[in-house]
Amino acid sequence: MAESAAPLGAKLRWSKFSGAYRQRLTEGGLALDLFLRRHKAPWRLVETESSQTVDELLESFVKDMHALGKSSSLRVAKHAVLFVQCIRPRLKRHLGATWSAIRSWEEQKPSGFRPPLPVALLAALVCQARKFAEKEVDRQRDLWFRLSALLMLGFFGLLRPGEMFKLHSRHVTLPNSLSLGGPFAVVMLEQFTVVHHPDAINWLSWLTLTSVKTRKALWPSSPNKFRVMFKELCEKLGINGMKLSPASLRAGGATWMMDEGMEISKIRFLGRWSNLRSLEHYLQVARAQQIALTLEPEAVRRLRSLLLKFSFMLTLPEHFAALVPKEHRVTSEVIEIPSSESGANWQAQFKKAVVLGGSLKGAPYLEVSWEDLRKAAKNYKADDCAGASPSS
């Protein structure tokens, strides 16, 4: 099983993976190797036998790991199968019995799934992060604003946490640039995803262009720092009991897109899931987890108050927008936003803001709920992404 004995093609594929992912694959491969030794079976069976024989062998291995009953057994078993597919990629579509056993195992323990973040809680987290930022200075202030922008990007761009932490300005193509010309942004690592939400795009434009100047990653700190700050937000909002994590952004975004009527096939394309069947299972478990999420009445009251008073913070403020060329912003005429030179006291600046059109015309902005805004936004072209083609 030694890495040095692997074919050249496998070594090239192996080099593309992150160090952490290679470590998980190796852990799975060692567990499989131990299983084979216990049953006096040589490793060459995995490397040379027919797909049917390997499928039967791996299915037995998965069942054996399930019988161990350890909390890490499922993860190790899954990565062992992925390790074999790395060595022999042509087996990928011929291990039906093995992956069926893994799916059955996953369905037995839905509580282990990362809870999806509801869109209302996303808004609350973003607003709270920006409130924190206004009380800080220098680097910590910048980190809170960057975290808030990445929360929106992770949700509406269906990004994994590891993908967010890798992003540099060169990975982002902003809206209305010569290469695209459309009201959306594209994020490209090994695969690409498209972001259509106007506020997410505008904050991403600010994040990208300010990162070009510093030549740093969009998140210029450690992944652990991001998680610590995310946890601080949850504790402040009284939702830490929901066990949300940065991984909840991707699950929440996929569930929200399904609720908005987007076709499952398009969600699969944007989220880069390998096949439709795995996404359908992902969404089913995510929905079950979301239904199970509950909040104490006091936490609900606190969240509602926060969104009523500070939902204007979801929009890129003028002193940030001034740093972003107009062609890289997606504009919406929903809200009249008074100008601000310093942006030091946002709430005072927005007390007179009113809705200019639509069903909420004339309503004081600070009295409009997030749910009202979300419904009203569907009437604006900039928000209508459900029917757009990924390549449009």
CA dihedral 132, 135, 140, 145 (to 10 degrees): 50
Q: Which two tokens stand for residue 209?
A: 């262009």
Q: Which two tokens stand for residue 148?
A: 């808030």
One pLDDT digit (tens) per residue for the chain, 392 residues: 544 445 555 665 677 777 778 899 999 999 999 999 999 999 999 989 999 999 999 999 999 999 888 888 999 999 999 999 988 988 988 999 999 888 888 766 544 556 788 899 999 999 999 999 999 988 999 999 999 999 999 999 999 898 999 999 999 999 876 655 678 889 988 788 999 999 999 999 999 999 887 778 999 999 999 999 999 999 999 888 888 899 899 988 998 998 888 998 888 888 887 777 667 767 776 766 665 567 788 888 888 899 889 988 999 998 899 999 888 888 753 333 334 444 445 455 555 566 666 666 777 755 666 666 566 666 655 444 333 433 33
* pLDDT tens digits for range 331-365: 753 333 334 444 445 455 555 566 666 666 777 75
Contact (CB, 8 A) for 114 and 251 = yes
Cα atoms found within 13 Å of the Cα of residue 265, Cβ hemisphere only:
4
Phi, psi of 273 (to 5 degrees): -75, 145
Cα atoms found within 13 Å of the Cα of residue 293, Cβ hemisphere only:
23
- DSSP labels, 179-232: TT-SS-EEEESSSEEEE--HHHHHHHHHHHHHHHHHT--SS-S-HHHHHHHHHH
Contact (CB, 8 A) for 355 and 365 = yes
Question: Is residue 194 packed enough to be buried (19+ CB in 10 Å), middle (13-18) or exposed (0-12)?
Answer: buried
The Cα 380–Cα 133 span in angstroms is 30
- Side chain identity at 368, as an amino acid letter? V
pLDDT the model gives residue 107: 65
* pLDDT tens digits for range 21-55: 889 999 999 999 999 999 999 999 998 999 999 99
The Cα 301–Cα 294 span in angstroms is 13
Domain ranges of the chain: 3-108, 119-297, 309-383
What CATH class does 119-297 carry?
mainly alpha
* 185 strand-pairing partners: 195
Q: Residues near 206 by Cβ (< 8 Å), separated by ≥ 6? A: 149, 316, 320, 321, 323, 324
Q: Residues near 123 by Cβ (< 8 Å), separated by ≥ 6? A: 307, 311, 314, 370
CA angle 203, 253, 198 (to 5 degrees): 30
Buried b (16+ CB within 10 A) or exposed e, 164-181: bbbbebebbbbbbeeeee
Please state whether the predicted TM-score (pTM) of the whole model is above 0.85. no
